[in-house]
A and B are shown apart, each in its own frame.
Chain A
Amino acid sequence: MTASVVIVGSSVAGVRTAQALRRGAYEGRIVLLGAESELPYDKPPLSKQFLAGEWPAERVALLSAEAAEQARIELQLGVAADHLDVAERQVVMANGKRIGYDVVVLATGSQARPSPWVAESGLHVLRTIADSQALAADLARDGPVVVVGGGFIGAEVAATARSLGREVTIVDPLEVPVGRLLGREVGSMFVDLHHRNRVATHFGTGVKSVEGRAGQLTVRLTDGQTLTAATVVVGIGALPNDSWLASSGLLVDDGVVCDEYCRAVNAPEVFAVGDVARWMHLGYGESCRVEHWTNAVDQAACVAHNVFHPEALRAYRPVEYVWSDQYDWKIQIVGRPTRATSHCLIGDLGRPSARAAGKPRAVALYKDDSAQFTAAAIVNWPKALVTARRLLAVGSSFDDALSQLEQLAGPRMEPIS
């Protein structure tokens, strides 16, 4: 019998694990530890609606104090976990307090990769609600914005800053930043999207230095050009928060290494969930770590089940899903396009005027060498999203997927590549 579960980390993975345990009728003690003093909050809006000032803080709340009390989730916020004593089964907090557990769930998430450049002020990364508030305060003042990093966070920040009327430039060392994920053809349409929205790009160019202070920053590029900015945002990826586990004896290698049930490989009473978990995905036949919101939620449900039902463990093998909102595009990616070797595009993504209704819509379908349907990238097309997710969940062949999506598109949306 598991008398107490301690969850380290109060973001979506930790909160959903606690809630799923209660919903699954687990009656023991649940303690949820959070390093930040804020009540648990949700992160996706921090680069979009919350940053733009469209949503108030209440709308990003994940778990109120009342809801926690009602579910008998003991919240302990404002103190970070310092290390894990696996032998004694205790989480040791930064203030020296020790919290005993029968099972511990590691949900410490990830942090923004720190900026390698230092300025006096006006240089931001974006991960926490405090980061988003600080950036919003600077974006409220007029002046050009330089975003370093052309991935999803960078693109979302650029779109939000543009919607606030700011002049925006994005810099990335790759010529087609999204191409790394979706292939060069589809990735180049994301470059065009920035240009259509009057955001300048310096792609294929690195940043040499950032100097100055808020309102008066100078960004020097590796090609010799110089940009001036009021605000600089660095969005160059995330790192798992696993360094606090260095002394634990757990196997840590870009995340806590877990088996297919999300249990630490050398400590079966230790589970990991969300961004910090590196688990064995049996569908891929390799370990993976996923930083997306839906993965945190799906994995939390699986971990909660496995914590409470060790006699009936479930392997965790999800179809990955991530979304991004950029300008007037709602982008969704299902599966793992980087496992594919070729793709086919249906729709009018590159031709925004082709559709009378306004917004372009399209789906790119990806396949591997064995003609298996491996992933899809969808823009502004909810029905295609549902169809693609269903087909990936059942392991469809590429030809079946292509034929179903073509049928959904109708005669006016022929494949264009």
Chain B
Amino acid sequence: MAVVKADFETCQGYANCVMAAPEVYDIDDEGTVVLLKEEITDEERAKVDEAVNSCPVSALSVEDA
């Protein structure tokens, strides 16, 4: 189990996270990331790590619960 976080001020709406982990991230009409869930399973971790690493402005993080 791990917890995902986002810095909504830093987010620029590049949407790389939505492509990497669509069940965890979405983007609203203003181009700010939306967390579809806050806790993720171990199976989802690899995709979320990929999303975190693919954010051009490092707005995402994931922490072990």
Contacts and interface: CB of A to CB of B under 8 A. Distances in A.
Interface residues of B, number: 20
A383 B19 contact: no
A382 B53 contact: no
B27 A382 contact: yes
A293 interface: yes
Nearest to A319: B19
Contacts of A16: 53
Interface in B27-49: 27-31, 46, 49
Interface string A378-394: 00001101100110010
Interface string B1-27: 000000000001111101100100011
A128 interface: no
A301 interface: yes
B56 A385 contact: no
A389 B13 contact: no
A362 to B, nearest CB: 15
Specify which of A16, A330, A382, A386 lies most central, judged by the most chain B CB atoms within 10 Å of its CB.
A382
Interface of A is mostly: helix
Specify which of A20, A298, A386, A389 lies most central, judged by the most chain B CB atoms within 10 Å of its CB.
A386
B61 interface: no
B53 A386 contact: no
Nearest to A393: B19
Contact of B16 (A23, A294, A382, A383): A294
Given A301-B50, A386-B27, 6 more contacts: A42-B56, A294-B16, A297-B54, A382-B29, A383-B27, A383-B29
27 contacts: A20-B53, A23-B49, A293-B56, A294-B16, A294-B54, A294-B56, A297-B16, A301-B50, A321-B16, A323-B56, A330-B12, A330-B31, A332-B14, A382-B13, A382-B15, A382-B28, A383-B27, A385-B15, A385-B27, A386-B15, A386-B18, A386-B26, A386-B27, A389-B15, A389-B18, A390-B19, A393-B19
Interface of B: 12-16, 18-19, 22, 26-31, 46, 49-50, 53-54, 56
